[in-house]
Amino acid sequence: MNAIAYDDTMLHGRDPSPRDDHSPSAWIHVTGPSSGHYVRAEHDVLREHLDRLRDSGHEMSEVIVITPFRQVASRIASLSDQYPGLSAGTVHKAQGKEADIVFFVLGGDPAKDGAKRWAAAKPNLANVAISRAKKRLYVIGDYDGWSRHPRFDVLARTLPRREGGVF
């Protein structure tokens, strides 16, 4: 995935084999109506995955949830009572943080492309999201709507597509 920001020159220094008790990195395709940038269906899929991780013994301190949009970040941050230790916020607030497992919740109005174009305009946003993950990266969002945009097209080619829900 380092093609997004490093012209494929980034060196990988970590053992890529995480615990085998959760699915490999993937783009989890989820669609649904939005309220602004917030897509309830993405939130629901995120919660399913967080429940599975917690139930399999993962500490929520091993997980970061990031998103391009403040509106989505505030909704996700409200989950901290249910998932103590979970770190959530915008991509910009995640700079400098890392976790074993990163969920990149895309959000965005499926009927409008402006926010997607903004998020794809520079490599920084996708790069920060990707580079936070030490072991697993899960992109949650509208594959068809986002994968047409620069940088997200690379993610789409790199990550296997899975249909919503826990797999």
Q: Based on the structure, what is the number of domains in the chain?
A: 1
Q: Identify whether 11 is part of a domain.
A: no
Q: Identify whether 119 is part of a domain.
A: yes
Q: Identify whether 63 is part of a domain.
A: yes
Note down pLDDT in tens along the chain; length 167 residues. 455 554 554 444 444 444 445 689 999 999 999 999 999 999 999 999 999 999 999 999 999 999 999 999 999 999 999 999 999 999 888 878 899 999 999 999 998 999 999 999 988 888 988 899 999 999 999 999 999 999 999 999 999 999 987 76
Q: Identify whether 112 is part of a domain.
A: yes
CATH number at residue 127: 3.40.50.300
Do 63 and 50 touch, CB atoms closer than 8 A? Answer: yes
Q: Identify whether 4 is part of a domain.
A: no
Q: Identify whether 2 is part of a domain.
A: no
Give a three-class secondary structure readout of 3-47: CCCCCCCCCCCCCCCCCCCCCCCEEEECCCCEECCEEHHHHHHHH
Q: Identify whether 105 is part of a domain.
A: yes
- The C-alpha atoms of residue 65 and residue 135 are separated, in whole angstroms, by 14
Structural domain of residue 78, as residue ranges? 26-163
Q: Identify whether 13 is part of a domain.
A: no
Do 99 and 83 touch, CB atoms closer than 8 A? Answer: no
The total of other beta-carbon atoms located within 10 Å of residue 140's CB is 27
Do 107 and 68 touch, CB atoms closer than 8 A? Answer: yes
